[in-house]
Structure 1
Amino acid sequence: MTTFNTAKTFFKGAGVAGLLTAAASAASAQDMTLRGASMFDEDHAFTKTMVRFAELVDEKYDGDVTFDLRLNGELGVEADYVTFLQQGVAVDYTIMAPSNMATFAPSIPLMDMPFLFRDQAHWEAVLSSDVLAPLEAELLEKADIMVVGYTGGGVRNIISNAPIANLEELNGFKMRVMGAPIQAQIFSALTAAPSAIAYNEVYNAIQTGVIAGFENEAASIQNLKFYEVAPYLTLTRHAITVRPIVMSGKTFRKLPEDLQAAVLAAGEEAGTFGRELESREDAQKLQEMADAEQLTVLEFEGREQLLDMVVPVQDSYAESLGAVELLTAIRDM
């Protein structure tokens, strides 16, 4: 039996009586608790995917386990989650951007490198295969963090406080990027002026003029109302997100073998669920913001030129990691 608990006492489909019963069970049962974290609310695809992950574990495991999922950044931001996972404290499982794990595993951001995927079909083919296994092995060895599945599917674009529709307007654009060096290298090659600042500081940084914008997918823009300070979205389509479902290695090794098996099987299935969900919702959420006139959506003129400009940076990055064969394998799929 699996008991669900969140900071907002949320479980999809449960009524008040069911929630009270679950809370009582959690208080009295002598069972194992797995602690999850989401920076977002219950409507975000990440949260829905983690709830589905817990449901799938429940279906596959005969023992007792409680899932304590905390929402809305109660346990911090993704950079905090990485430290917690690595140390085996506070957070046992979550979904996060690979770039946030670069401190411990320098090669891991390759799976989320801008302009890596040709299209949605290429992205799905990579995530449905075992081609990323070398990166998973490095993450486990160097950070003691396990990848148990892959979700994602949001298309990342540039969001800004003034229109950006071509290379001339992108030149010198002060933008926030994620902390992995490859992110800054890619956008520097496109003549922007990137800097890595904390995600929870982005809104104020745009508001105060420290930066003029950043890059993100529709769900996060909508959820955190970034359109209030950056009402222009430029369709650079520079990334289709790869978001590993991860678990602390220290936590995983403490689980009974049958629960370990359930976690691995549930992670794979939850990843498939999350990829379909986020891919579908991404376009819907972008359209909702455009229809509400919260965002002005712009095409980027000459986007094909961007693809050519970043290839040398991608190649150099892969070479520095000793990952040329891996990059070639991804491109060839």
Structure 2
Amino acid sequence: MNRRALLGGALAAPALLSIPVRAQGAITLNGASQFGDEHPYTRALIKFEELVKQYWGKPISFVLHKNSSLGLEKQYFEYMAQGRAVDYAVVSPAHMSTFSKAAPFVDAPFIFRDLAHWNQVLDQDLFKPVADEVEKRARVLMIGYGGGGTRNIFANKKLTNLADMRGLKVRVQGAPIWSRTFSAVGMSPTVIAYNEIYNAIQNNVIDAGENEAAGVEQMRFYEVAPDLAMTQHAITIRPLCFSGATLAKLPNDLQAAIRRAGKEASAFHRQAESGADSQIVETLEKGGKLRRVEFTQRAEMKKLVDPVMAAYAKEIDAEGILNKINALTA
């Protein structure tokens, strides 16, 4: 199966850069999602639309471009920073690194012990300094924090311990911290576009990738990499982002409605994704589509990564944030 065929609209995005925020006096907001209707990201964006309409109470139109028809998350963020084409989207922090070295720290491997710890970090808004920097430099606001999926490694071979990981050709996100941490474990990480992962594994360019359950299901990665090593190396944070250039053009009461809706839609996103995570894996396993593989050396894996994370936090002036995260007792 050719994944480009499924995501064929991605390359057409530049032609749509003139989509207006306002058309003939009416306000139209354009959103973007890499996925279809059932994915938590898309569901969160639909919830956001519903809540904005509810809280503002005046006529407004939303156009949500799904299934990568406007490209991928990296492009969405660039468009929002430019104030054109995309007004709102869920975006991985890894794609914000051009504007903020600290942004990928929000979503780095082994930064959270478990979901309770993850929730506590978000409840205390410990990533506010990062959000402030992104808003200042990119003119993109993080109006809510979604996510909650636990990331594991899907591969075309069984991986149970660190020895099995040695030299594993694995796709990672573009932010340097992902390559550094996976290299520290002994893997051979490479950056490949999200929509190229399926073909890359199918053609033996790489052996594996890493993703939360919703992504594995939506992208059908299990067809080429049916062994899911339960490394639980990260819990996703996926900010709901909004273009600052767009927001500045909108009435004050609509801006308030957007900010309120962003927080609530992201809370919905967190509940939907974290709640469905294990259910998706169980359903795929029962259907014979993937094999869940116990990974026996997660603690040892984390010990190899911890010094890399500490050095990275120092490099990006995020030691204070990391110390506060580690001090939480959840």
TM-score by length of 2: 0.91
Q: Which moved more, 1:302-311 or 1:132-141?
A: 302-311
- Are 1:269 and 2:279 matched, yes or no? no
For 2:247, the aligned partner's letter is F
Aligned partner of 1:323 in structure 2 is 318
Residue pairs, 1:1-333, within 5 angstroms = 30-333=25-328
Query: What are the Cα deviations for residues 236-286 of structure 1, in whole angstroms up to 9, with x where unaligned?
Result: 000110000001111111111000100111111111111011111111111
SS in 2 for 1:240: strand
Shift in Å, 1:62 = 2.5
Query: What are the Cα deviations for residues 113-148 of structure 1, in whole angstroms up to 9, with x where unaligned?
Result: 100001111101111222111000111111111000
Give the Cα separation in 2 of the matches to 1:193 and 1:59: 48
List runs of 5+ in structure 1 lacking aligned partners.
1-27
Give the Cα separation in 2 of the matches to 1:29 and 1:86: 24
Query: What are the Cα deviations for residues 174-233 of structure 1, in whole angstroms up to 9, with x where unaligned?
Result: 000000000000100100000111111111111111110110011011111111111110
Percent identical among aligned pairs is 43
Give yes or no for contact 2:201–2:207 (8 Å, CA) kept in 1. Answer: yes
Give the Cα separation in 2 of the matches to 1:107 and 1:325: 12
Shift in Å, 1:63 = 2.2
Give the Cα separation in 2 of the matches to 1:302 and 1:279: 23
Q: Which moved more, 1:178-187 or 1:280-289?
A: 280-289
Shift in Å, 1:109 = 0.5
For 1:306, the aligned partner's letter is M
For 1:149, the aligned partner's letter is G
Give the Cα separation in 1 of the matches to 2:224 and 2:98: 30
SS in 2 for 1:90: coil
Query: What are the Cα deviations for residues 25-73 of structure 1, in whole angstroms up to 9, with x where unaligned?
Result: xxx9841011000100000011111111111111110322111001111
Give the Cα separation in 2 of the matches to 1:187 and 1:181: 10
Aligned partner of 2:19 in structure 1 is none
TM-score by length of 1: 0.90
Query: What are the Cα deviations for residues 291-325 of structure 1, in whole angstroms up to 9, with x where unaligned?
Result: 11110110111211111111100000000011101
Give yes or no for contact 2:74–2:91 (8 Å, CA) kept in 1. Answer: no
How many residues matched?
Answer: 306
Give the Cα separation in 1 of the matches to 2:199 and 2:125: 40
List runs of 5+ in structure 2 lacking aligned partners.
1-22
Give yes or no for contact 2:93–2:104 (8 Å, CA) kept in 1. Answer: yes
Aligned partner of 1:16 in structure 2 is none
Give the Cα separation in 1 of the matches to 2:281 and 2:124: 29
Give the Cα separation in 2 of the matches to 1:103 and 1:229: 32
SS in 2 for 1:271: helix
Aligned partner of 1:14 in structure 2 is none
Give yes or no for contact 2:93–2:107 (8 Å, CA) kept in 1. Answer: yes
Give the Cα separation in 2 of the matches to 1:311 and 1:227: 30
